[in-house]
Structure 1
Amino acid sequence: MKPTAIMCRAQQTRQLALAANAVLPNVRDIATTAAAAWAKEALDADKRDKRTALRQQGVMDAAMALELIASKDRGFSENPDRGFADTGNVRI
């Protein structure tokens, strides 16, 4: 499972709060390092989401292009006196 950007930023905020409230310096250092790691992961998640959105848009564009081509082909028939089989308008 890949974490979402929202979840990563929530974890980053949590780690920054832990660092701010920590009494011990090593706890502060570890929480600050963890916050930086979550920030980097959030950037990666943003890139991943953007790639996914672009991929989905490309699929939608291709589907629309195929539908347009199919609608243009639909008007041409080798047997103009007969309807199309899938519309239920077939004359016998």
Structure 2
Amino acid sequence: MIPSSALCRAQENLHYRRAADTTLENVRSVSINAAAAWAKEALAAESREARQLRLQAAANAGCQMDTASAAIDDFSVNENPDRGFANP
């Protein structure tokens, strides 16, 4: 499972709150380290999500161009190249 940036930020926030609410030093230390790890994972998740958005935008732009050129190319492509085009 690949965690989303929202999940990572929620976990980071949870661990920072846990660190703030405890009186035990070892619990605070572990919670702060866990929050830092979730923050690092959130940065990676944000990078992945941004990359996916860029890829989707490029795919959508490519798809729109392909359909426009396909409409033009439909008339020029003959599936039977050894025969002439049918008269419309």
Q: TM-score range by the shorter chain?
A: 0.7 to 0.9
Alignment map for 1:54-65 (pairs within 5 Å): 54-65=54-65
CA offsets 1:36-55 (integer angstroms, 9 cap, x no match):
11111111100000111111
Partner Cα separation in structure 1 for residue 36 and residue 76 of structure 2: 61
Gaps of 5+ in 2: 78-84
Partner Cα separation in structure 2 for residue 9 and residue 75 of structure 1: 53
Alignment map for 1:1-92 (pairs within 5 Å): 1-74=1-74, 78-79=85-86, 81-82=87-88
- Normalising to structure 2: TM-score of the pair? 0.82
Partner Cα separation in structure 1 for residue 33 and residue 17 of structure 2: 13
How many Å apart are 1:63 and its aligned residue? 1.0
Partner Cα separation in structure 2 for residue 47 and residue 15 of structure 1: 22
Partner Cα separation in structure 2 for residue 73 and residue 12 of structure 1: 53
> Aligned pair count?
81
How many Å apart are 1:74 and its aligned residue? 4.0
Of 20-29 and 55-64, more deviation after overlay is shown by 55-64
**Hey, what does 2:81 align to over in structure 1?**
none
Partner Cα separation in structure 2 for residue 47 and residue 3 of structure 1: 12
Gaps of 5+ in 1: 83-92
How many Å apart are 1:64 and its aligned residue? 1.0
**Higher RCO, Cα 8 Å, sep 6+:** 2
Partner Cα separation in structure 1 for residue 64 and residue 49 of structure 2: 22
Aligned partner of 1:7: which letter?
Answer: L
State, as a whole percentage, how many aligned pairs show the same letter.
Answer: 35
- Normalising to structure 1: TM-score of the pair? 0.79
